[in-house]
Amino acid sequence: MTEKDKDKVRVYELAKELKLDSRRLIDLLHRLKVENIKNHMSTVEPDAVKTVRDIMEGKLPPEPKPAANHGPVGGPSRPRPAAPAPRMADRPSTAHPPAAHESRPNGRPSVPPRPNDRANYGRPYNNAAPRRDQTGPNASRPMGAERSNRPPYQSGPRPGMNERRGPGAPSGRPNAPMGNRPSGPRPGGARPGGPGPRPQSGGRPGGPPRGNRPLAVPPPPTTTRPNKDQNRRGGPNRERRSSFDEKRGNRNWMDDERYGNKRKKNHKSQERRQEVAMPPVQRRVVISGPIVVKDLAEQLGAKATDLIKRLIALGVMVGVNNELDKETAVIVATEMGAQVEERASVEEREEILLQGDEDREHELQERPPVVTVMGHVDHGKTSLLDKIRSTRVTASEAGGITQHIGASVIDWNGRSIVFLDTPGHEAFTAMRARGAQVTDVAVLVVAANDGVMPQTIEAINHAKAANVPIVVAINKIDLPDVNPERVRTELTEHGLVAEEWGGDTMMVPVSAHTGEGLDKLLESILLQADIMELKANPNRAASGTIIEAQLDRGRGPVATVLVSRGTLRVGDVFLSGSVYGRVRALINDRGERVKEVGPSMPVEVLGFNQLPEAGDDFVILEDERQAKSIADARASRSRQSSESGSRGVSLDEFYQRLKDEAMQDLNLVLKADVHGSAEALAQSLAKLSNDEARVRVLHIGVGSVTESDVMLAQASGAIIIGFGVSIESKARQLAEREHVDVRQYRIIYEVLDDVKQALTGMLTPKFQEVFLGRAEVREVFRVPKVGAVGGCYVTEGKILRSGQVRVVREGTVIHEGSIASLKRFKDDVREVASGYECGIGLEKFNDIKVGDILEVYTQEEVKAS
């Protein structure tokens, strides 16, 4: 250890010394722009320690100015917001706001932090350590210097970081002010990441700290925090908080900030406060995490009703069985006169144990870049990857859409590049975004003949939000009359300026068909990797991220993981969420069994006791018993929170419903073939929620639809969506008996379409589909100015000109719409009966093919009984 290292302290040590909650200290350090502060274990540079001490001792003003030179400090003085910083997407797209890494003295961009800080640890992003780049070999790389203006992706708190944490996790919502929660409808005031019952698969509880990531549709609430609306409406919380702040003395400036405390006297609040005045309790309570109201009341020696009244006065609407998050519990207990001791929760202690020590510079070695290919549908992502890997994936994909994240390693010029397959369809936004979180470089595929499309822009935004640099592949240049320059121009409008034009984005014209430009593309990726100086310590226990997980009939739970640091070996004891096990076998991307894999490498892992969850971290522990006990504890916490959630609906939710009386819920049980799809689908479905109807995914799971799924759906009035999975026969029988609607799909668009319709159906008079007839396309005519007309034979029922039509190709619905024309010979007719031929033209659909089945139906209003 160097002299300098001795002066450094870890966050939790400093927090202890200053009698501060570590999260608050982290918050403060972030505000001071001190970099590399990720968690309790992060080290704080001496300068920053001094500044913090000065602030706490009142020598410096309590509202900190971003300090200039606290060791590894971000450059610009833009104050770090308490809430997650706006994504790049929210900023003017053409502007490149200054970023921390632009200000580094060597003119080279520092590698920006990633959105998922846990996926991050062990990644060589430690600017605190001396970096090779200041003198290192790459300093002389010709393009390095030019890159000082690399897109300045945000350096603020990373979006999504907190979302990935479970209840009471150490950094869970460290910055979220109580009065500054997202304003969307959140039943029961449950915070995202709160320990509401998380839809699980196969009983695998998503235990904290990461397992309990929220679905986009918040599950029924359990953990409750003071309510923003109450606050805004002049509720008493502001005043309450003021007094709380005062009691807490040395924390006040941060609490002021957190709670938006203006310290104005509010007469009404005062009055209300009087109303709920209770005899103070004189107990000492220890709060180390979320706690159920009645348990807190017991600890306080108070009546639960008194506690609830006090909570209501704070704007927290709860029942006795609801859970309070730690922060709220501390506030209310203090308010009630208790002496409160805040302790690190079990989760926090776990987190410290699992994170281990940070790597030192000399332990780090170069590692291959992990690359995600992104882009608009059909721009050639799969083809490009295929060409690079010289394999063919496209043919086997359902509906021609990439649906799972896979990974493969390319060896090129003696170096490796790891490619993650990320899907291109919008519905997989979540998966793609997650892909970007383990990604070092994003390859943005833009078809030269199509140019920038909506999902191109989305991909750019995701990469920017994830601080992932983009290399553009302008694809399909083998096509005639394509113009790569046009793509360059269009991309400029979205903040990506080609190097040739003085910008800093490498743009490489390629053809996935002919292979032209691919070498240049790989070279550019490696160049980008060099600039980033990707490093990891291979000589330590492995940790990384679960990329994909599925149940294999023969092999049991199989997870594809990406090692972010350390070396993963057969026999290692691992832990991921509440799943643990011993690595039985490792299989690389070529299907070979290997004994160990190092940083950046993807590998299939066998040996999990249950399915881990895609997107979760994994760590290697020394002791299997320890892994088991942490896994069990996480599972039981998760169970408890879902149980406490199922017992009651909070008043807050009730209120919300009253307020939005038109709001209705569409409850769904979602089963999919793999976790990634399920998760992505859940998020896409949630996005269909509108002002009047909300999609709520009650349960997501992997594998066939089972009896218990049907029972759940029956009990909660839900529809079951099976995506790429079958229905067990008993489940089917039960569903029929109980009139549970089970729908099976293979194509994601269809799920979204159907659910969209279901949402509409909920709000308008109910309609049911009435089958009219079916026709088979036997010939296709191209009629000038009209388009394609199918020469059809009616095989069943009758075709009505006024009917709706569904085009089914090889068992898959490829289009739904209206009939534009129905003819018998040259005459327009209203209907054609079974056994006759006719010509059918469809509105806005010209892709009729021989063999297509046209199913014609109508919608009839269902009379209320």
Task: Provide the pairing of β-strand 602-608 with 556-565.
Answer: antiparallel
Does residue 240 interact with ligand GTP by CB under 6 A?
Answer: no
Interface with ligand GTP includes 512 (CB under 6 A)? Answer: yes
Q: How far is the CB of 378 from ligand GTP (least distance, A)?
A: 4
Of 345 and 402, CB closest to ligand GTP:
402
Q: Smaller CB distance to ligand GTP: residue 375 or 577? A: 375
758 contacts: CB under 8 Å, gap ≥ 6: 666, 719
Residue 528 contacts ligand GTP per CB under 6 A? no
| Cα–Cα distance measured from residue 73 to residue 137, given in angstroms and rounded to the nearest whole number | 24
Q: Which is nearer to ligand GTP, 611 or 751 (CB)?
A: 751
Find the shortest distance in angstroms from Cβ 23 to ligand GTP.
40
Is 454 an interacting residue with respect to ligand GTP (CB under 6 A)?
no
Q: Which amino acid is at 592?
A: E
Please, which of residues 466-485 interact with ligand GTP by CB under 6 A? 475-476, 478-479
Structure tokens at 824: 């018998």
**How many angstroms separate the Cα of 168 from the Cα of each of 289, 415, 466, 810?**
6, 42, 24, 50
Q: Binding of ligand GTP at residue 400 (CB under 6 A)? A: yes
Q: Work out which of 24, 33, 101, 379 binds ligand GTP, going by CB under 6 A.
A: 379
Nearer to ligand GTP, 383 or 683 (CB): 383
Q: How far is the CB of 427 from ligand GTP (least distance, A)?
A: 11
Q: Comparing C-alpha atoms, which of 60, 86, 74 is closest to residue 32?
A: 74
Q: Which of 594, 628, 607, 592 is nearest to 552 (CA)?
A: 607
CB-based contacts of 390: which residues, under 8 Å, 6+ apart?
A: none
Does the CA dihedral 176-179-184-189 come out positive or negative? positive
Determine if 325 is a binding residue for ligand GTP (CB under 6 A): no
Task: Give whichever of 248 and 815 is closer to ligand GTP, judged by the CB atom.
Answer: 815
Token pair, residue 276, equals 């709920």
Residue 499 in the binding site for ligand GTP (CB under 6 A): no
CB of 475 to ligand GTP, least distance (A): 5
Please report where in the chains the tokens 């797209």 appear, as a residue. Answer: 93
- One-letter-per-residue 3-state SS of 449-495: CCCCCHHHHHHHHHHHHCCCCEEEEEECCCCCCCCHHHHHHHHHCCC
Among 116, 162, 382, 683, which residue interacts with ligand GTP (rule: CB under 6 A)? 382
**526: enclosing H helix or E strand:** helix 518-532
Quote the least distance from Cβ 398 to ligand GTP, whole Å.
11
378 is in an annotated binding site: yes
**Least Å distance between CB 513 and ligand GTP?**
4
Q: Give min distance, CB of 454 to ligand GTP, in A.
A: 13
Q: Which segment (243-251, 351-359, 508-516, 850-858) binds ligand GTP by CB under 6 A?
A: 508-516
List C-alpha distances in Å: 391 to 386, 398, 408, 445, 562. Answer: 5, 17, 11, 18, 21
Residue the block writes with tokens 């018998």: 824
Is 547 among the annotated ligand-binding positions? no
Q: Which residue is nearest to ligand GTP (CB)?
A: 424
Can residue 511 be called a binding residue for ligand GTP (CB under 6 A)?
yes
Please report, as residue ranges, which positions from 24 to 63 form the binding site for ligand GTP (by CB under 6 A). none
Q: Give the binding-site size for ligand GTP (rule: CB under 6 A).
A: 21
Query: If binding is defined by CB under 6 A, does position 791 make contact with ligand GTP?
Result: no
Q: Is 144 annotated as a binding residue?
A: no
By CB under 6 A, name the one of 192, 380, 495, 724 that touches ligand GTP.
Answer: 380
402 part of the interface to ligand GTP, by CB under 6 A? yes
Q: Is residue 676 at the binding interface for ligand GTP, with CB under 6 A as the rule? A: no
**Residue 475 annotated as binding?**
yes
Sole window of 103-111, 121-129, 152-160, 375-383 interacting with ligand GTP (rule: CB under 6 A): 375-383
Q: Please, which residues have CB within 8 angstroms of residue 361's CB and are 6 or more apart in sequence?
A: 126, 129, 130, 131, 132
Report the distance separating Cα 786 and Cα 780, nearest Å.
13
424 is an interface residue for ligand GTP by CB under 6 A? yes
Q: Would you say 858 is a known binding-site residue?
A: no
380 assigned binding-site residue: yes
**What are all long-range contacts of 160-164, with beta carbons under 8 Å and residues at least 24 apart?**
160/84, 160/115, 160/116, 160/433, 160/437, 161/84, 161/115, 161/116, 161/117, 162/84, 162/192, 162/193, 163/192, 163/193, 163/213, 163/214, 164/116, 164/118, 164/193, 164/210, 164/213, 164/615
Instruction: Collapse the DSSP code of 664 into the 3-class scheme (helix H, G, I; strand E, B; otherwise coil) and give the result.
Output: strand
Give the CA diameter of the chain.
Answer: 94
Question: Quick one: CA dihedral 703, 709, 710, 714, positive or negative?
Answer: negative
Instruction: Tell me how far apart the alpha carbons of residues 633 and 613 are, in angstroms, rounded to a whole number.
Output: 17
Q: Is 462 in the site for ligand GTP (CB under 6 A)?
A: no
Q: Which is nearer to ligand GTP, 124 or 509 (CB)?
A: 509
Q: Is 401 in the site for ligand GTP (CB under 6 A)?
A: yes
- Asked if 381 touches ligand GTP (CB under 6 A), the answer is yes
372 is in an annotated binding site: no
d(Cα 682, Cα 600) in Å, to the nearest integer? 28
Instruction: Give the ranges where 290-378 is alpha helix by DSSP (H).
Output: 293-300, 304-313, 326-335, 346-355
Classified as helix, coil or strand, 379 is coil
Counting contacts by CB under 6 A, is residue 377 touching ligand GTP?
A: yes
Fill in the amino acid letter for 408: S
Q: Of the candidates 368, 465, 461, which has an alpha carbon nearest to the alpha carbon of residue 420?
A: 368
> Which CB atom, from 68 or from 479, has the smaller least distance to ligand GTP?
479
The residue among 104 and 746 lying less far from ligand GTP, judged by its C-beta, is 746
The smaller minimum CB distance to ligand GTP, of residues 31 and 434, is found at 434
Is 451 assigned a ligand-binding role in the annotation? Answer: no
Selected from 378, 426, 548, 816, the binder of ligand GTP by CB under 6 A is 378
Pick the closer one to ligand GTP by CB: 470 or 601.
470
Q: Does 517 bind ligand GTP (CB under 6 A)?
A: no
Closer of 481 and 691 to ligand GTP (Cβ): 481
Distance CA 41, CA 21 (A): 13
**Is 598 known as a binding-site position?**
no
Return d(Cα 392, Cα 82) in angstroms, integer: 47
Is 334 annotated for ligand binding? no
d(C-alpha 805, C-alpha 816), whole Å:
6
Please give the structure tokens belonging to residue 859. 């919608």
Least CB distance from residue 702 to ligand GTP, whole Å?
A: 22
Q: Which of 42, 231, 321, 383 binds ligand GTP (CB under 6 A)?
A: 383
Task: Specify binding-site residues for GTP.
Answer: 375-382, 421-425, 475-478
Contacts with ligand GTP by CB under 6 A lie at 375, 377-383, 394, 400-402, 424-425, 475-476, 478-479, 511-513
Residues making up the annotated binding site are 375-382, 421-425, 475-478
